[in-house]
Amino acid sequence: MQSGKQAPSGIARTLQAAGSAIGLGRGTWFGALALALVLVSMLSGAAARAAEREVYRAFLETTGFDVAITSLQQDAMSGPGMSGQEANDFGSQYVALAEKVFDPDLMLNRAIDMMAAVMPDALVQHGADFYASDLGQRLVAVENASHMASADERRAEGEALVRELAQSNPDRLEDYQAMMDSIGGVDASVRAIVEVQIRYLLAAMAAGTVDFEFSEAELRAIMAEQEPAMKTEIARNSIIGAAYTYRDMSDADIAAYRDALENPTMQQVYEALNAIQYQVMAERYEVLAGRLAGLAPQTEL
């Protein structure tokens, strides 16, 4: 880069972690969403709004986006921070602050606010219908089980499965790639994460909580330099994760899942939900950046 400044060390790690966490459909289905949508239309005023929010909450659980959103808390608490220096500078104070800022209920309520604003009932119903099906339920089961596995286990077993599939069943890997492309793909994921990162770093610099100074243009230039490597890493991690998660599903099931995700209406569902997830993430990291100013840097004894 022309200015000769060095990129904050956390940028690459943050892009990799956030990108590899992006998944397919997940969650738990309670079985009554279609009826709930009908009942909401029969109510009025506050009762209707409350019922509508319960429908959206059930839908987030159905698709697993409640897990994707609430897991942002653990990611923020366990990571080094967006700039790569927060955890070292503030220690346990940073962890406690991240836990508070990324409150699960707060994030879910914000997501529901946005769903109410941007998601028509037809999209909610379409997604719910698929995940309430027999295939949807079986996918939910393996996806929930994958969530419970350790990251090391998923990576190690997933890498072995990818090597095996490359030799014995390359069509399966092609299906996994097509599934990921259908719900936004690597390029869209990186673009969204870059915006989250830039918003955080601008807020952190404004609050004086990082020891570097970049203009927005300089930050975007740094991101642009890193994007090719990030895209490669995110794509690789996504395939590894899919191989692990769906290892016990049949080829026919995976092909049917691919067809479902390639449906234009389902793509609209994921477009809306992905945008909501990234907006929640960006808002929380901006708040975190500002509140870091109230922490005292830790000192070594």
Displacement of CA 260 from its chain's centroid (Å): 20
84 is a domain residue = yes
Average of per-residue pLDDT across 167-184:
95
| Measured CA distances, 22 to 25, 72, 141, 188, 215 (Å) | 10, 11, 18, 11, 29
pLDDT (0 to 100) of residue 21: 38
Q: Which positions ≥6 away from 65 have C-beta within 8 Å?
A: 26, 27, 111, 273, 276, 277
Long-range contacts of 37-44 (CB under 8 A, 24+ apart): 37/121, 37/124, 37/125
2 is a domain residue = no
Count other Cβ atoms within 10 Å, centred on residue 251.
11
Average of per-residue pLDDT across 98-116:
93
List the domain range (segments joined by +) for residue 280.
10-294
pLDDT (0 to 100) of residue 7: 46
Displacement of CA 270 from its chain's centroid (Å): 11
Q: How confident is the model at residue 3 (pLDDT cuts 50, 70, 90)?
A: very low
Task: Give the pair of three-digit tokens for residue 254.
Answer: 């995976």
301 is a domain residue = no
32-88 confidence digits (pLDDT tens): 455 555 554 555 556 667 777 888 888 888 777 887 788 788 778 775 556 555 555
How many structural domains does the chain have?
A: 1
Q: Among 46-55, 151-160, 249-258, which stretch is predicted with the lowest mean pLDDT?
A: 46-55
Q: Among 64-68, 76-80, 118-122, 272-276, which stretch is predicted with the lowest mean pLDDT?
A: 76-80
239 is a domain residue = yes
Question: Is pLDDT of 200 > 60?
Answer: yes
145 is a domain residue = yes
Q: What average pLDDT does the structure give for the chain?
A: 80
Question: Is pLDDT of 26 > 70?
Answer: no
DSSP 292: G
CA count, 13 A, side-chain hemisphere, 178: 16
d(CA 74, CA 107): 13
Query: Taking Cα atoms as reference points, which of 141, 118, 133 lies closest to residue 249?
Result: 141
Between 72 and 261, name the one with better pLDDT.
261
Q: At what angle do helices 185-207 and 170-182 cross, to 10 degrees?
A: 50
DSSP 248: T
Q: At what angle do helices 185-207 and 10-21 cross, to 10 degrees?
A: 140
Which residue is listed with tokens 């604003």?
Answer: 117
3 is a domain residue = no
d(CA 98, CA 74): 9
